[in-house]
Amino acid sequence: MGNDGGSIPTRRELVKEAARNPTATELKDKQKEHLAHRWSTCPVSNKPLIKPVVSDYAGDLYNKDAIIQFLLPAEASSVDKSEYEKFIQGRIKALKDVVEVQFEVEHDEKTKEDRWICPVTSKELGPNVKAVYLVPCGHAFSQEAIQAMKSDGKCVQCATPYEERDVVPILPSTEKDKAFVIERMNTLQSLGLSHSLKKASGSKKRKATGESKIEPNITNASGPKEVKANGDTKAAAATNSRSATPQSGTSTPKPSSGIRNAATASLTARVLEEEEARKKRRRENENISSLYTKSTDRKARDGEFMTRGFSIPANARHQ
């Protein structure tokens, strides 16, 4: 460098300002920008937040289909669960660990977009307004509206009773709110409850099955006793055999998915269909690509053909 008519810049010319700590205003603006992103984007799928939206005990918002994909078995899901787990950090292990947040939607005629508002104060819920939701109903309000209705103890939308501890802040930004959600979850865990106030996964629960228990035979000292009363036993046995054997012309009932909520069941079915279609397209692409020879393989075969020589059999006669 040099002797070309140019100049070498000095450090004073490159560094215009000295390093300094950000001001309180800059920190506040940066935090508000971060909250605005979290209010509009699902943090695990990086897609826009679209109803249905769920929240965990920490107050974070997710797309419900993204959480369902995360909870699906590895062979049925194509998402990178390790990337999801980096943000979730073990807070969600089942659908009972999230609550579907019920936002009041209002259409803005100026921007032609839908926005979430508080049904009491009509303020837009977002980075500029502190918002909360109630457990277990999930209706969202501004924090000032809940403080004004604290004495009622019932949701104004559905009249579901709630306790003061079950008012969960959405995307808490202060240390007080963060400590509150952690303390609330510790209390629920000590009671054997999940975030949605359902029984936690570790608690004992009777397995619900569609099969009825069969009563054992009545036995005495002489051996099993056969009950015969006007053919009732034979009729009951015949009825049980007919119910156990599927009749011709009737379809075999499909096993239930175990999801009682119809909306969640339909959403899970849609996610499974999308995953199956994605895997089918991947298999078709692999089958099509296998029909064509790669250029590297073709060159290798051509080079082998051109460079190989003619080998004379060992038992050939000399002329």
Element (H, E) at 34: helix 24-40
* Rounded Cα–Cα distance for residues 306 and 316 (Å): 24
Specify the pTM: 0.62
Question: For residue range 45-60, what is the model confidence (pLDDT) as tens digits?
Answer: 999 999 999 999 999 9
CB 218 within 8 A of CB 225: yes
- Please name the residues in contact with 184: beta carbons below 8 A apart, sequence gap of 6 or more: 57, 165, 166, 168
- pLDDT for position 63: 96
From 79, 83, 57, 56, select the one nearest 66 (Cα to Cα): 79
Task: Write down the pLDDT at residue 307.
Answer: 54
CB contact at 8 A, 137 and 162: yes
Decide if pLDDT at 219 tops 60: no
Kindly list the structural domains of the chain, giving each domain's residue range(s) and its CATH number in brackets, ordered by start.
24-190 (3.30.40.10)
Preceding amide of 161 cis, omega within 30: no
- How far apart are the C-alpha atoms of 13 and 67, rounded to whole Å? 51
Q: Determine if the peptide bond prior to 9 is cis (ω within 30°).
A: no
H or E element that contains 134: strand 131-134
pLDDT in tens, 230-266: 444 444 444 444 444 444 444 444 444 555 667 667 7
